[in-house]
Amino acid sequence: MPDDANDPPGFTELNELRIFLDETLSYASQSLARYRDEASGGFTHLLSQPKSEGSFSKASTATCLVFLDAAGLWTESWAAHSEQLRDAIVQGRWGSSGLDEHNAFTISFLLEALHVLRQSGAPPTDDAVPSRDPLSQTDVLNKEINLLRASFTDGGVAIAPYPATAFLTYKAVHALKLWDSFDSELAGEVRRWAWTSLNEESVLVASASSNADVFELAYAALTVSAATQLQDMTPPQRDTLGYVIDQFFGAQLAEGAWPRSRPLFLYPRLGNAYCYSYELLVHLLDDEQLRPLLAAVM
C-alpha cells in the first residue's frame, strides 16, 4: 500500500491488481460454462436448474453475454451459439420470474443481449418467427423497441405498483441507445425527469435520511449523462454531477460495499429486486463523460 493513504497507487500496487484481475478472469469461462443451458445457448440463474431444457434466465443471460463480450471471451465455442441464442430470445417469452410479458426490465436486458449477438454476426433476420407468425425476427425486435419506448411516463420508467426508478430508466435508455432508438424528444423528457430525481435524492443523502438511496443517486447521474452532452450542461449542472458522484463514493462502507438500495420492483416468484454494485460500477466506469468526475474523487 502507498505510504500515505491519500497518495495514488504506485506501479507495485497497480501491477498486483492487474495480476489479481488476470487470475480472476482466467476462471470466468469455466465458471460460467456451468450455468449455460445447452438447448438455448443462454444461462440459468441457479446451478440447480436443468441445463438442457431450453429454459434460461433473461437477465443472467444478458449479463453474462455483455461480460464475455467486454472481456473478449465471446469467441470460438461461445460465439458458435450466437444464432441459437438469438433464435431462443426472439421466439421466447419476453418476461421473467413471473413479471408480465413485455415489461421494461426484461426488454432492456434482452435488447442488450441481442446487441452483443448482432455484434458477433448474428443479427435478427427477416425470417418468420414460428411462435409469432406472421412476424419476422426483425418485426419482433422493432415491436419490443417500441414497447420499451412506450414504457416511459413523464420521462421515468417503472414496474407497477412501484414508482419509477433511475435504475429502470437508465437501463431502458441504455438499451434504446444501443439500437439507435433514443431520439431527442424522448431525451428531453428523460433529462427533465432525471435531473429532478438526482436533485431530490442528493438532498436525501446529504441529510442522512433513512430513505436515501445512493444507488438511485448514481443511476440518476448515469441517466443525466446518457441523455445530455456534457457541453450542453450548465456549469452548475456539471458541478452538481461531480458532487453526487462524490456523495456516492462517500457512502461506501468499510468493507467496500454500499448500503442496499430501495426495492426496484417485485418478482412475483422471487421477491423484491435490488441493485447490484458491480453492475452499477461497470456502467459508471464505462461512461466517458463521467470519467473525469470519477477520477477527481477516487
Does residue 133 register a pLDDT over 90? no
* Half-sphere exposure at residue 1, Cβ-oriented, CA atoms within 13 angstroms: 4
Using the predicted structure, report yes or no on whether residue 1 has a pLDDT greater than 50. no
Contact 41, 64 (CB under 8 A): no
pLDDT at 6 over 60: no
pLDDT higher than threshold 80 for residue 298:
no
Range of the domain at 259: 178-298
Q: Is residue 46 in some structural domain?
A: no
Domain assignment of residue 251, yes or no: yes
- Asked whether residue 133 is domain-assigned, the answer is no
* Verdict on whether the full-model pTM lies above 0.75: yes
CB 146 within 8 A of CB 94: no
Confidence category of residue 3, pLDDT binned at 50, 70, 90: very low
- Is residue 106 within 8 A of residue 168, CB to CB? The reply is no
User: Does 5 score more than 60 pLDDT?
Assistant: no
Residue-wise pLDDT for 248-295, tens only, equals 999 999 999 999 999 999 998 889 999 999 999 999 999 999 998 888
How do residues 87-109 score in pLDDT, each as one tens digit? 999 999 999 888 999 999 999 99
Task: Look at residue 236 and tell me if it is in a domain.
Answer: yes
Q: How many domains does the chain have?
A: 1
Mean pLDDT, the chain, whole residue set: 92
Q: Is 281 part of a structural domain of the chain?
A: yes
Domain presence at residue 265: yes
Residue 61 lies in a domain: no
